[in-house]
Amino acid sequence: MRKLIMIPGPTNVPDRVVSAMLAPMINHRGEEFHELYRRIRANCQKVFQTSNEIVVISGSGTAGVDAAVGAIFSEGDSVVVPSFGEFSARLGDSASYTGASVMRPTAELGDAPSLDEVEKELRSTEKVKALCVVFNETSTGVTWRKLKELGELAKRCGALFVVDAISVMGGEDVPVDKLGADICIAGTQKCLAAPPGLVIVSFSPAAKQAVQGKKPRNQYFDMPKYFQFAEHDETPSTPAIPLFFALDEALKMVLEEGIQNRFERHELCAGAFYKAFESLGLKPFARHEYRSNTVIGINYPMGIDDRKFRAMVDERFGVVIAGGFGKLKGSMFRVGNMGEIDEKMITVTVSAIAESLSSLGVSCDLSKALSQVWKSFSSVHP
């Protein structure tokens, strides 16, 4: 049975994108790949809303983070990385591996740091190399919608602005140039609805300048070499060509829908999820103003066993959802609202969750929850 994958990535991949991977293999130093890579980078610029340099790296989202921070930081640099969940903590860890001194203004899980706390850290030392921010914290379902203010703050302090948009690019507006993001990182396996295995990184002229002249930490993440090879529409090492075919097709689908339409669809679907879950008596983990449109984090009712519940949702209904991450393991579940998400997927997922909770002794009114879903979509039905 083909299962409905409703975790915060990888997400369901459209048949059209899967089929693209079946194309015959090509020479990664030949004109066919040159055309493919040119088109991918041009379409990534449209999705990122940037004129900045784009590189595509064969690897996970973490590979993109390590490539970015490893390229710009050196031992002794001062870096500010606000911490409010597992992946923002990992971003800080990646920076620390370079030998940089990492300052981490921290917020309680489900919340985000204040701008004042971030500014205090930025001004606590004479020169900060960069402010690195996770826009959408996948572990908590928190989106920190202060990128514009954070970017302005970084510039006032003479710092580069690095944005981890891995679990949100293509699902919420991240206008890289307007935000002044010097580096922005996105994963293919989330809101872009492509398979896992590629990461996209944009570099502003200032970020490229910061990279030049630095000794690379390793050969694979030698970013100046990526820039050099990109001039000839190639990557330094052999790329995952079938995944490039898939990303090419996924980007076409994003642009056919229209990026603003895609953002609006994710917001509409997120609202339907939140209203449905709240009608079941379930409480979102994140504070209201920080609730993510791409990762729906929900606290468990008292007495629910995480593994038993998610196994039931999977085995009985064919819907795969995620549990809590890190310190939140066992206390919440997470639903990915990503990629090709639509009313049918939401209806099936909400039904599976409500029926499973009912089987485990939680009083749930499924009809009420589904009416909230259908009501949310009433404005888009003809």
d(CA 82, CA 150): 11
How confident is the model at residue 214, as a pLDDT? 81
Task: Kindly list the distances between the CA atom of residue 241 and the CA atoms of 29, 64, 346, in Å, as whole numbers in the listed order.
Answer: 11, 18, 33
Examine domains 15-257 and 258-380 and report if their fold is the same: no
Question: pLDDT above 70 covers what percent of the chain?
Answer: 99
Q: What are phi and psi of 239, to 5 degrees?
A: -80, 165
How confident is the model at residue 178, as a pLDDT? 98
258-380: CATH topology is Aspartate Aminotransferase, domain 1 (3.90.1150)
Sign (positive or negative) of CA dihedral 87, 89, 91, 93? negative
Contact 117, 265 (CB under 8 A): no
How confident is the model at residue 172, as a pLDDT? 97
Instruction: Dump pLDDT digits (tens) for 130-140.
Output: 999 999 999 99
Sheet arrangement for strand 332-336? 295-299, 332-336, 322-323
15-257: CATH topology is Aspartate Aminotransferase; domain 2 (3.40.640)
Burial of 163 (0-12, 13-18, 19+ CB in 10 A): buried
Checking if the pLDDT of 149 tops 70, the result is yes
Give domain limits for the chain. Answer: 15-257, 258-380
How confident is the model at residue 213, as a pLDDT? 80
d(CA 323, CA 297): 9
Query: Which residue matches tokens 């890579």?
Result: 37
Average pLDDT along the chain: 96
d(CA 212, CA 353): 51
How confident is the model at residue 382, as a pLDDT? 61
Instruction: Dump pLDDT digits (tens) for 71-115.
Output: 999 999 999 999 999 999 999 999 999 999 999 999 999 999 999
Instruction: Dump pLDDT digits (tens) for 1-55.
Output: 789 999 999 999 999 999 999 999 999 999 999 999 999 999 999 999 999 999 9
How confident is the model at residue 381, as a pLDDT? 67
Instruction: Dump pLDDT digits (tens) for 228-265.
Output: 999 999 999 999 999 999 999 999 999 999 999 999 99
Model's pTM, two decimal places? Answer: 0.96
Instruction: Dump pLDDT digits (tens) for 270-295.
Output: 999 999 999 999 999 999 999 999 99
Task: Kindly list the distances between the CA atom of residue 178 and the CA atoms of 50, 147, 149, 201, 296, in Å, as whole numbers in the listed order.
Answer: 8, 10, 11, 17, 27
Instruction: Dump pLDDT digits (tens) for 176-186.
Output: 999 999 999 99
Instruction: Dump pLDDT digits (tens) for 291-333.
Output: 999 999 999 999 999 999 999 999 999 999 999 988 999 999 9
- What average pLDDT score do residues 120-144 get? 96
Sign (positive or negative) of CA dihedral 132, 135, 137, 140? positive
